[in-house]
Structure 1
Amino acid sequence: MRIAVDHPVRPGLRMESADGGRLVLVQGERPVLFARQRVTHHGVHYARTGTYVSPLAPVRAATARAFADFAPPGSEAWTDRWAAHAREELCGAAEGPLHAGDWHLAPMTSDWFVESHWAKLLPHDTDRGHLTWFGYGDPDEDARDLLPLRALSAPDAPRVKAYRRQYREGLLPPVVLWWISGLQSPVVLDGHDRLVAALAEGGRPTVLLLSGAVDAGHVAMWSELPLRAYEERMAALRPGPLAGVKASTVSRQLAAELLAVERAPRITRAWPLAGGVAAWERATTEHVPGWRPKRRP
């Protein structure tokens, strides 16, 4: 789903940056996440402040059941309905991430998530930690595929238990993520407890990813190679009983590749942090005292 946004220019939930790979995610006027990239860009250190609030209203059980009556849970129509619901919520949110420009809100490609990383999420979710991007000798638990913006609830917390029941009934709404390129990771925009519920039940959540949409020039440039490869593969096909099947396979592969190009996330915009490095250092001292990420390779 593509979302065209004409305002605001500066959103309520935004990334701000200062020199030296210093980042801060601000919601309203309060910092919710500090981060600092490693020198060699092998990962990022982060510290949450505990003040994040989802810009989407809580999903009522009646809504989840109504959407399940509309279309089978997990189906394309069901997912599209939830995407439309999230779009409406985000467009009306004063402290959400949308700003002027084009956006995508769609199911996240499954090949992003490494199956073995899901098991690390609950036991290794901490307010201060490190996400590795490439490994390179980092602790194994630092390899995670998404970053919650608040502490995850216990699997037996009352709200999580209610969502676990929804998961078992096949009604659990998707978790909404937001791609932030400065972190090289999606963050959990909405659905922290739904995420815990799915994992606690031994399953995986359905996810919708919000990301800035790349422009037409980007799409055209990166579509050239798969289109050329498609033409070459089609030209190489020989007549025979399997020619139609092979042609269909090649066409489906092209469609998937072009969709991936079209949905590629745009680099996340970061606004300059007023006061620069000094302001970032003062803010970390105030909001995450004692956090001093080493600027290691």
Structure 2
Amino acid sequence: MNDLLCLATAQSSISADVCANGSQIRALMREASEKGARIIHFPEAALSGYPKAQIKDWQEVDWTALEEELASIEREAARLGIWVVLGCNHRLESPKRPHNSLYVISDRGEIVHRYDKRYCSHTEVTDWYTPGTEPLYFEVDGFRFGCVLCIEINFMEVFAHYEKMQADCILFSAYSEDPVFGIQAQGYAATNNFWISVSTPAQCSHSLTSGLIDPRGYIVAQCEKNVEPQILIQTLNRKAPALEIALTKARPWRREARKGDIYAQVFAGGEDTS
């Protein structure tokens, strides 16, 4: 098992022009690869644009152009040998509305997984999206990742499930300006003792900034608060001395505590009434 993994968290600038988005995404992929990253994580709707912000009606979407840009990103991932987790709308057959998705593209340039947002807002589920049904976790170089989209931050069971599946790092993509999302992410990281990469668009960074939270719940690094696209490079290190208690003591103990067996053993001989 590898103890180190270099992760790039992207804070891209999202526009209504999918070709411009795609060009910027590939540029950030190249920068991440040059700096040694094995995986790069992008915001919600990074390629396609987000409803109400860049998309006013599904009839406006040039799905052919979107598919061409996605294919170009796949080819670039293969050329660079880097994994990509990319926010993008996923078209379904009419009359179904699209999914709000995260594509997982391997370092071979193949879409190996797709996470479809399960907990959609009232507006999303009534006017914009078809919700997904399944969680998604995948591995890169021995590190297990889970995927979360935007308001799913409000559902503790999402994070509890990923802890149960022994995720090392959660990739949280959002198109939001709500700073409380960042506070909640810190809480989940501290409670479950895993890393959380927070990726938001540059236009949201003034209040919800992209960054990395460690298994203690500490923000270890953040992008700058501006409208320029940028990436943050950090190494996930299982052997970091500062994380020893969180990863080797707190996390396994809490896992046992949640099962309840350790408490059942204490009272196996009956309740102490002395």
Question: What TM-score bracket applies, with the shorter chain setting the length?
Answer: under 0.3
Relative to the length of structure 1, the TM-score reads: 0.24
Which has more radius of gyration?
Answer: 1
Relative to the length of structure 2, the TM-score reads: 0.26
